[in-house]
Amino acid sequence: MKVLETNFHRGWGGQPSRILMVAEGMARRGHDVTLAVPPGSMLGERARAAGLRTFEQAHFRPPRHVVRALADRRALARHLAEVRYDLVVAHGSQDLWTAVLARPRVPLVYTRHNTKHVDDHAFNRWLLRRVDHLIVVSRSILPRYEPFFARGDLRRDRVSVIHSAYRPDRFHPGIDPSPFRASIGAAPDVPLIGVVGRLVPDKGQDDFLRAAALLRERRPELRFVLAGRGTAETALRQLAAGLGVENQVGFLGFRDDVPEITASLAVSVLPSVDCDASSAAIKEALACGVPVVATDIGGASEILRDGETGFVVPPRDPARLAEAIERLLADPLRARAMGGLGARDVAARFTPDHLVDGTIAAYESALASARRAAAS
């Protein structure tokens, strides 16, 4: 297949990471993949470093910026006229709008990466009627599209559920956490509890800090770490100070040693309140043999086996979060067994090969549907 993958994000995160993983995997299998990304994006930079082609003449502005959005449409339309793709795959609302307005003469696939609400209005109905195949990264996303299914804007038989993957070459049992622990002055016997992810309101790190304050009262030896940067960092630092846990909480910033950080944890926590549909952090922690406590948001309960590889708790409930963490800390043998089962489980379900296999099958399904429609 000759495929154009579009994505409007300029920074890095789970969505660009998945797109690059799929593109690399497809290229290794002989498919021809180009990534359409804004100029200066991290995905474009990493794609070029991986030897992939990029198209960087569209900025993928939101449709409300009419003049600039039209410039993006013209740039993409010219590219589609010059290069004959078999398939166009959009990964975000902004690039989906650009792709639809550019009127590709080939099937259009849309991959939805988050659980955010989808407004049921005339513009979205018009937009989604032009999608030939929908990929969602967990079943938790499907209810967002229920009105569109019911009305026939989208077809249920043209939907694929394909979870994101983790990188087994980076996250696996046996990673040595001692250099990281030494770098933050944590003795080998000090339990570390951590959250890996962008510091943004959707991730719920404020609830994690409130849970840390509850745990500190009963287990003052614990230390907590937050790995990542984001718009909520100042507010989170202020909250930590207000809760009196600023000396127990380490704000690590953006890190390249995430596998070592993850492997150092006694418990990995994902306290999300929105957005996370197929969390990489959950899979990466389990791959390292670390049990996880996650809130029941998005695909967490599809990844975690509650009570077997970790615990799933309600969102916005720091007391339940703290209780689940303490259950794991109180029974280290059980926690290790849960982590070991988690490592085997994610290796069986969420590797890059599984992701690429599922994606290629969805793309082939979209092409087959288009051929049947053309023949009828």
C-alpha to C-alpha distance for 309 and 299, rounded to whole angstroms: 15
Confidence at residue 361, expressed as pLDDT on a 0 to 100 scale: 98
Instruction: Flag whether 60 is in a domain.
Output: yes
Residue range(s) defining the domain that contains residue 361: 2-165+352-375
C-alpha to C-alpha distance for 141 and 127, rounded to whole angstroms: 18
38 lies in the same domain as 113:
yes
Among 72, 23, 73, 74, residue whose Cα is nearest residue 46 = 23
- Residues 333-376 have pLDDT tens digits of 999 999 999 999 999 999 999 999 999 999 999 999 999 988 88
21 lies in the same domain as 151:
yes
Residue 64 has pLDDT above 90, yes or no: no
* Average pLDDT for 37-49: 97
Instruction: Flag whether 233 is in a domain.
Output: yes
pTM of the model: 0.92
187 lies in the same domain as 288:
yes
239 lies in the same domain as 155:
no
Main-chain phi, psi angles of 370, to 5 degrees: -65, -40
368 lies in the same domain as 315:
no
Instruction: Flag whether 144 is in a domain.
Output: yes
Residue 66 has pLDDT above 90, yes or no: no
Mean pLDDT value across the chain: 96
- Residues 96-145 have pLDDT tens digits of 999 999 998 999 999 999 998 999 999 999 999 999 999 999 999 999 99
Confidence at residue 233, expressed as pLDDT on a 0 to 100 scale: 98
- Residues 220-279 have pLDDT tens digits of 999 999 999 999 999 999 999 999 999 999 999 999 899 999 999 999 999 999 888 999
- Residues 166-198 have pLDDT tens digits of 999 999 999 999 999 999 999 999 999 999 999
pLDDT-based confidence at 207, cuts 50/70/90?
Answer: very high
Instruction: Flag whether 89 is in a domain.
Output: yes
Confidence at residue 12, expressed as pLDDT on a 0 to 100 scale: 86
* Average pLDDT for 32-52: 98
Residue 200 has pLDDT above 90, yes or no: yes
282 lies in the same domain as 358:
no
Number of H helices, E strands in the chain: 15, 13
201 lies in the same domain as 328:
yes
Main-chain phi, psi angles of 161, to 5 degrees: -105, 115
Among 285, 258, 299, residue whose Cα is nearest residue 339 = 285
Instruction: Flag whether 172 is in a domain.
Output: no
363 lies in the same domain as 289:
no
Confidence at residue 376, expressed as pLDDT on a 0 to 100 scale: 80
345 lies in the same domain as 356:
no
CATH number at residue 329: 3.40.50.2000
Q: What DSSP character marks residue 59?
A: -
Quote the number of domains for the chain.
Answer: 2
